């Protein structure tokens, strides 16, 4: 047996320690290296990813953008086509040539401040522009190409329509706008339903808690990705006061592109009469046979017209097609117009500032027949709208007004076929609360199953 002295022992431990330290340090070093290597690899991978990204072919305006240095800017105040090209290293003789050759397609004086333009420049060291692209709006663009021969043309960006659906239920104290807001849906859907589709059937100012809707609509996208708003509502279902109202958009004239909304029974939802002779107005006094006015000693002074308050100068519209029978003045009516629409209906518009039609003239629905004023016996600017049916003044809001244009018999068959899949689709969209109920139902079933299984286990 060898005796190991203390010193030797110390040395051995020391050596060992050194060895350990060295080993430890080596290990750390190695791990740092490997770490670094990993980071390096990551960077390399990123670079590859970047390069791969660069390799993705990008097209816009019908050009492969990868082949150019793309310069994007907007027309600045006082910018001219010549200045833009000059700023981008193109000389005046050539600018003159380009303008001359392009002028039949596009008047370069029409460049509008703030509109975007794109220059496609050569990828060499000079990076000279070879093409100028101007976008007067989101869809259209004008290309002035001077790469080889100078030529100019206008074109449209590709448009994509995406079908979507939405539902909503109005909770107490809530509004239809809030319902849409909560789901991040466009308010345009309300305007379309209120003003286009259900303007004659549902008063959107009097919606009730519990009223609910479903819509199938299309969103519009430009260049696949730029959202350009709601395009149209294809079909809708609105439950107002527990009464269902279906609406389906249908083309009644393919040549003229006329479209209307019809019920599931092919009834036109639009009426032959506008709801009001002025837009953006409010009804200040309704048709009321028992109106009492303090000024007249609280005696009954029936109001057989409907007053629409609006600013002086607001256009007054003919509510339906017809022939002007009167365009004149009396002390009470002020300046007024009367229109005969057919054997049954006539309308009259009072207190105008000015009239825009003559007796005997044919007017179409929506034509401006005069402007809001306060001529005659009136306390403020408004139009008094009078509605005659078979020679008697009636309340237009209480009339079952005639359909705008009933669907023809031959089209009716086509329509009923057309709406079958749409109605099926609409009926199979669940309201949010229905979906929640279904989930609750299924969890209940699950709970029951567990109970039954527990039962079985306990019996065993
Ligand atoms: Zn009135």
- The DSSP annotation for 53-81 comes to HHHS--EETTEEGGGSEEEEEEPPTT--H
Cα(111) to centroid of ligand 1, in Å? 50
Cα(316) to centroid of ligand 1, in Å? 15
Domain 161-270+404-450 has CATH 3.10.450.350: yes
The predicted-structure confidence for 185-239, as pLDDT tens digits, reads as follows: 999 999 899 878 998 888 888 899 999 999 999 999 998 788 889 999 999 999 9
The pLDDT, as a whole number, for residue 37 is 47
Backbone angles phi, psi at 91, to 5 degrees: -85, 165
The predicted-structure confidence for 4-47, as pLDDT tens digits, reads as follows: 444 444 444 445 555 555 555 555 555 544 444 444 445 445 55
User: Using 50, 70 and 90 to split pLDDT, how confident is the model at 444?
Assistant: low
Determine how many CB atoms are found less than 10 A away from the CB of residue 171. 13
Task: Report whether 131 contacts 119 (CB < 8 A).
Answer: yes
Which runs of E-coded beta strand occur in 200-321?
212-222, 226-240, 243-253, 258-262, 282-285, 292-293, 299-300, 305-309, 315-317
Cα(32) to centroid of ligand 1, in Å? 90
What is the chain's mean pLDDT, rounded? 83
Cα(398) to centroid of ligand 1, in Å? 17
Query: Encoding tokens for residue 108?
Result: 């370069």
Cα(357) to centroid of ligand 1, in Å? 21
The pLDDT, as a whole number, for residue 266 is 94
Which CATH number describes the domain made up of 62-156? 3.10.450.350
User: Using 50, 70 and 90 to split pLDDT, how confident is the model at 450?
Assistant: very low
Cα(12) to centroid of ligand 1, in Å? 116
Question: Which range has the worst mean pLDDT, 236-240, 250-254, 363-367, 442-446?
Answer: 442-446
Separation CA 129–CA 63 (nearest Å): 14
Percentage with pLDDT > 90 across the chain: 50
Cα(308) to centroid of ligand 1, in Å? 8
Query: Encoding tokens for residue 146?
Result: 């001077």
Residue 402 has pLDDT above 50, yes or no: yes
Cα(286) to centroid of ligand 1, in Å? 8
Cα(303) to centroid of ligand 1, in Å? 6
Backbone angles phi, psi at 198, to 5 degrees: -110, 20
Cα(349) to centroid of ligand 1, in Å? 9
Separation CA 188–CA 180 (nearest Å): 10
Residue 3 has pLDDT above 80, yes or no: no
Cα(199) to centroid of ligand 1, in Å? 23
Query: Which contiguous run of DSSP H or E holds residue 349?
Result: strand 345-355
CA distance readout (Å), 42 to 29, 31, 216, 235: 19, 16, 47, 52
Cα(282) to centroid of ligand 1, in Å? 13
DSSP line for 106-143:
--GGG--TT-EEEEEE-SSSS--EEEEEE-SSSSEEEE
Among 207, 216, 271, 213, which residue's Cα sits nearest to residue 244? 213
What residue spans define the domains of the chain? 62-156, 161-270+404-450, 282-398
Cα(305) to centroid of ligand 1, in Å? 5
- Radius of gyration of the chain, Cα coordinates, nearest whole angstrom: 37
Cα(154) to centroid of ligand 1, in Å? 53
Cα(338) to centroid of ligand 1, in Å? 14
Cα(306) to centroid of ligand 1, in Å? 5
- Report how far Cα 141 is from the mean position of its chain's Cα atoms: 22
The predicted-structure confidence for 349-401, as pLDDT tens digits, reads as follows: 999 999 999 999 999 888 999 999 999 988 899 999 999 999 999 998 888 88
The pLDDT, as a whole number, for residue 239 is 96
Among 194, 201, 158, which residue's Cα sits nearest to residue 177? 194
The predicted-structure confidence for 109-141, as pLDDT tens digits, reads as follows: 788 999 999 999 999 988 999 999 999 988 899
Cα(269) to centroid of ligand 1, in Å? 28
Cα(332) to centroid of ligand 1, in Å? 10
The pLDDT, as a whole number, for residue 172 is 92
Residue 252 has pLDDT above 80, yes or no: yes
Task: Name, in order, each residue with C-beta under 8 angstroms of 337's C-beta and a sequence gap of 6 or more.
Answer: 316, 324, 326, 327, 348, 349, 352, 355, 357, 369, 370
CA distance readout (Å), 273 to 191, 267, 269, 356, 391: 19, 15, 12, 20, 17
Separation CA 173–CA 290 (nearest Å): 33
Which residues on adjacent β-strands are paired with residue 245?
A: 238
Residue 57 has pLDDT above 70, yes or no: yes
Cα(130) to centroid of ligand 1, in Å? 67
Residue 262 has pLDDT above 50, yes or no: yes
Return residues with CB closer than 5 A to ligand 1 (ion): 305, 307, 384
Cα(139) to centroid of ligand 1, in Å? 47
The predicted-structure confidence for 299-313, as pLDDT tens digits, reads as follows: 777 888 999 999 999
Cα(376) to centroid of ligand 1, in Å? 11
Cα(233) to centroid of ligand 1, in Å? 36
Cα(302) to centroid of ligand 1, in Å? 10
Cα(291) to centroid of ligand 1, in Å? 12
Higher pLDDT, 223 or 336: 336
- Paired sense of beta strands 151-156 and 159-169, if any: unpaired
Mean pLDDT of 270-296: 78
What is the homologous superfamily of the domain 282-398 according to CATH? Glucose Permease (Domain IIA) (2.70.70.10)
Is 161-270+404-450's fold the same as 282-398's?
no
Cα(356) to centroid of ligand 1, in Å? 20
Residue 101 has pLDDT above 90, yes or no: no
Cα(380) to centroid of ligand 1, in Å? 11
Task: Report whether 274 contacts 255 (CB < 8 A).
Answer: no
Cα(62) to centroid of ligand 1, in Å? 60
Cα(298) to centroid of ligand 1, in Å? 18
The pLDDT, as a whole number, for residue 29 is 53
Cα(350) to centroid of ligand 1, in Å? 8
Cα(361) to centroid of ligand 1, in Å? 25
Cα(96) to centroid of ligand 1, in Å? 65
């Amino acid at each position: 047996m060898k005796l190991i002295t203390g010193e030797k022992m110390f040395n051995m431990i020391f050596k060992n320690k050194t060895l350990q330290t060295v080993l430890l340090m080596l290990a750390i070093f190695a791990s740092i290296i490997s770490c670094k290597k990993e980071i390096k690899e990551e960077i390399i991978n990123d670079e590859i990813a970047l390069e791969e990204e660069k390799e993705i072919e990008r097209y816009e305006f019908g050009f492969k953008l990868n082949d150019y240095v793309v310069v994007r800017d907007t027309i600045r105040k006082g910018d001219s086509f010549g200045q833009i090209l000059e700023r981008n290293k193109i000389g005046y003789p050539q600018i003159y040539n380009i303008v001359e050759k392009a002028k039949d397609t596009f008047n370069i004086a029409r460049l509008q401040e703030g509109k975007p333009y794109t220059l496609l420049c050569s990828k060499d060291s000079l990076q000279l522009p070879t093409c100028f692209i101007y976008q007067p709006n989101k869809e259209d663009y004008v290309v002035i190409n001077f790469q080889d021969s100078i030529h100019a043309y206008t074109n449209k960006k590709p448009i994509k329509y995406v079908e979507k659906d939405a539902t909503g239920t109005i909770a107490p104290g809530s509004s239809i706008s809030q319902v849409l807001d909560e789901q991040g849906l466009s308010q345009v859907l309300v305007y379309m339903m209120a003003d286009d589709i259900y303007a004659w059937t549902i008063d959107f100012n009097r919606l009730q808690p519990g009223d609910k809707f479903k819509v199938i609509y299309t969103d519009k996208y430009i260049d696949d990705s730029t959202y350009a708003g709601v395009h149209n509502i294809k079909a809708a279902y609105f439950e107002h006061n527990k009464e269902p109202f279906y609406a389906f958009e249908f083309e009644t004239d393919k040549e003229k592109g006329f479209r209307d909304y019809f019920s599931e029974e092919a009834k036109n939802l639009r009426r032959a009469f506008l709801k009001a002779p002025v837009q953006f107005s409010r009804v200040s006094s309704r048709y009321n046979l028992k109106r009492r006015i303090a000024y007249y000693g609280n005696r009954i002074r029936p109001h057989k017209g409907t007053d629409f308050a609006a600013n002086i100068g607001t256009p007054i519209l003919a509510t339906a097609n017809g022939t002007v029978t009167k365009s004149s003045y009396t002390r009470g009516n002020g300046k007024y117009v009367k229109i005969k629409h057919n054997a049954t209906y006539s309308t009259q518009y009072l207190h105008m500032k000015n009239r825009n039609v003559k007796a005997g003239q044919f007017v179409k629905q929506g034509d401006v027949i005069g402007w809001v004023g306060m001529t005659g016996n009136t306390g403020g600017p408004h139009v008094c709208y009078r509605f005659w049916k078979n020679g008697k003044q009636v309340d237009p809001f209480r009339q079952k007004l005639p359909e705008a244009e009933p669907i023809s018999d031959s089209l009716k068959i086509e329509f009923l076929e057309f709406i079958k899949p749409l109605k099926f689709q609409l009926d199979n969209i669940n309201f949010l609360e229905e979906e929640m109920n279904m989930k609750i139902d299924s969890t209940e079933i699950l709970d029951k199953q567990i109970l039954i299984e527990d039962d079985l286990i306990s019996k065993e």
